[in-house]
Every structure is written in structure tokens, then in C-alpha cells.
């Protein structure tokens, strides 16, 4: 049964880092005086990303515009039809991330997103999602799951650090209820870290990253799945042409 997390509105700066297993372990030790692991421990996050038939949203995102947005359906663990899931609309403007989401059962969410059958709930966030759906007419394109450990600041719980491992994806069986299997995106010894803060990082964290020579990177899970799929399609086309 899927677990739930109930924050519905987020505004923050997010930075991503790719870590080797060695740097991951060194960083965990370094942040121990300042950060505590959240109550969920290691948990699996599952997502369905929605896009236009021609991948307009992710193609725009890869070009790094000042403003971009995306829509996904998310669960914590593999949900059953009556379990709670979240429809999330995520916007990024000049480096600041705005995330808004609503909760529904998996059955309600899939009826709404895939068949246009609106749930009885109605609020401002739903209106934003309705507009997004009407404007882009998105369809499910990619399933993405990963195992996550999250930490929050002991002095300031708004400071969060997450570590994602075993990032996996598929482009078939596009339902959260179909299991969390997929092709791995990174090497088994690589971790994707995200630092999420309201404004600026605390100095102790800046110094820690500098000492361990950990530097930010541009890494989109969905973007990398799209790039890999595009490369694979091009290889297949070249093979057919050569044949």
C-alpha cells in the first residue's frame, strides 16, 4: 500500500548533484551534525510524466528557458486503485521552483488525466491543472521510479537534502499500479542528490560541498530518459537506412 505525504504547495531553490558512492558516504557523515533523516527512511517514489504527443514540454525544458513547467502523477510506493496519489504541476522561473499538487485516489486521478472525467474536488490548484490539461492536451509518456532517502535540517526543517538511487524508467505499462520496474538510468554506484532550500544554502553546507569537491550539475530524470530514447530511435533509423 502506498504511503502519503501531504504538503501541497512548495516554493524553493533546488540544486542537483551527481555523486559517486564514495562521495555519497562521505557527505552523509559530514551532514550528520546538521541534518536528520526523515520519518519515511528509504522509500520508493513512482511517477508518470505527462507530455504532448511530440514531447514539447521536455524538449522546451532541455533548452533551459527562463520559465518551464511540467505535469506528473506521483505516488509513494506502488498504489492500489483506492490509495492516495498526487497530481503535481511544477513550474520553474529563473531558478526558483514552484510546485503545487492535489491528492486523489489512483482511480480518480487516472480517470481525470487519461479520460477527462473530473473529480468532485474543486480548488485553485485544480483550476491550474485544468488549464494545463486544456492547453497542452498531454498524455502519459514515461514512468519513472527511484529509491529515496531524505534529510531535513535540525535547526531549520525547510532545508532538505534527498538522495535518489536506482532511478529506473519505462515507456510502456504507464500506470502507477503496474509495478516499479524499469531500465536503470545511472550506474549502480551513482546517486542523484538534490538540495532544496527556501532561498540560500547555509554556510556550513556550502563549506562541506566545497571541501568534498561536490559541484552542481544539470540533470533531469525525464530529460535523460527522453535523450536516451531519442538516441536509440536515431540508431534504429540509421540501421534501417544502412540495411
DSSP string computed for 98-144? EEEEEEEEHHHHHHHHHH----S---HHHHHHHHHHHHH--EEEEEE
Q: pLDDT tens digits for 34-73?
A: 999 999 889 999 999 999 999 999 999 999 899 999 999 9
- Confidence band, pLDDT 50/70/90 cuts, at residue 121: confident
What is the C-alpha to C-alpha distance for residues 157 and 196, in angstroms, rounded to an integer? Answer: 11
pLDDT band at residue 100 under the 50/70/90 scheme: very high
Helix axes 203-211, 21-31, angle to 10 degrees: 150
Q: Which of 221, 228, 238 is nearest to 48 (CA)?
A: 221
Tell me, yes or no, whether 241 lies in a domain. no
- Could you list the residue range(s) of the whole structural domain that residue 81 is in? 13-234
CATH of the domain at 218: 3.20.100.30
Does residue 71 lie within any of the structural domains? yes
For the chain, helix, strand, coil in percent to 5 are 30, 40, 30
Q: How high is the pLDDT of residue 95?
A: 84
In a domain, 242, yes or no: no
**In the structure grid, which three cell numbers stand for residue 31, read together?**
551532514
Check whether 85 has a pLDDT greater than 90. Answer: yes
Residue 2: inside a domain: no
What CA dihedral angle connects 125, 127, 132 and 133, to 10 degrees? 120
Q: How confident is the model at residue 236 (pLDDT cuts 50, 70, 90)?
A: low
For residue 170, is it within any domain? Answer: yes
Tell me the three state secondary structure of residue 172: coil
pLDDT tens digits for range 132-175: 999 999 999 999 999 999 999 999 999 999 999 999 999 999 99
Give yes or no for a contact between 121 and 148, defined as CB atoms under 8 angstroms apart.
no
| More confident call, 98 vs 242 | 98
Tally of domains within the chain: 1
Domain for residue 98, yes or no?
A: yes
Domain contains 8: no
How far apart are alpha carbons 12 and 161 in whole angstroms? 12
Q: What is the pLDDT of residues 204-227, one digit of tens each?
A: 999 999 999 999 999 999 999 998
Domain annotation covers residue 78:
yes
125 neighbors 8 (Cβ within 8 angstroms): yes
Residue 96 pLDDT greater than 80, yes or no:
yes
Cβ count near 190 (within 10 Å): 18
Q: What is the reported pTM? A: 0.89
- Mean residue pLDDT of the chain comes to 91
Given a cut of 60, whether residue 1 has pLDDT beyond it is no
Distance of alpha carbon 169 from alpha carbon 243, whole angstroms: 30
Q: Could you give the maximum distance between any two Cα atoms of the chain, in Å?
A: 63
Backbone angles phi, psi at 199, to 5 degrees: -135, -80
Contacts of 236 (CB under 8 A, 6+ apart): none
Amino acid at each position: 500500500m502506498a504511503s502519503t505525504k501531504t504538503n501541497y504547495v512548495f516554493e524553493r531553490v533546488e540544486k542537483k548533484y551527481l555523486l559517486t558512492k564514495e562521495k555519497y558516504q562521505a557527505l552523509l557523515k559530514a551532514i550528520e551534525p546538521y541534518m536528520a533523516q526523515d520519518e519515511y527512511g528509504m522509500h520508493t517514489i513512482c511517477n508518470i510524466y505527462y507530455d504532448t504527443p511530440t514531447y514539447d514540454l521536455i524538449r522546451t525544458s532541455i533548452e533551459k528557458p527562463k520559465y518551464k513547467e511540467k505535469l506528473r502523477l506521483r505516488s509513494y510506493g506502488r498504489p492500489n486503485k483506492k490509495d492516495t496519489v498526487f497530481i503535481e504541476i511544477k513550474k520553474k522561473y529563473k531558478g526558483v521552483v514552484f510546485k503545487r499538487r492535489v491528492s486523489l485516489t489512483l482511480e480518480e486521478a487516472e480517470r481525470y488525466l487519461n479520460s477527462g472525467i473530473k473529480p468532485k474536488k474543486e480548488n485553485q490548484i485544480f483550476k491550474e491543472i485544468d488549464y494545463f490539461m486544456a492547453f497542452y492536451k498531454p498524455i502519459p509518456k514515461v514512468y519513472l521510479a527511484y529509491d529515496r532517502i531524505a534529510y531535513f535540517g535540525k535547526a531549520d526543517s525547510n532545508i532538505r537534502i534527498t538522495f535518489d538511487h536506482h532511478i529506473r524508467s519505462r515507456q510502456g505499462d504507464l500506470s502507477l499500479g503496474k509495478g516499479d520496474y524499469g531500465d536503470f538510468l545511472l550506474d549502480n554506484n551513482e546517486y542523484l542528490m538534490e538540495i532544496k532550500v527556501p532561498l540560500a544554502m547555509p554556510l556550513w553546507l556550502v563549506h562541506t560541498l566545497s571541501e568534498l569537491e561536490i559541484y552542481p550539475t544539470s540533470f533531469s530524470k525525464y530529460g535523460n530518459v527522453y535523450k536516451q530514447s531519442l538516441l536509440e530511435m536515431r540508431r534504429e533509423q540509421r540501421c534501417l537506412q544502412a540495411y
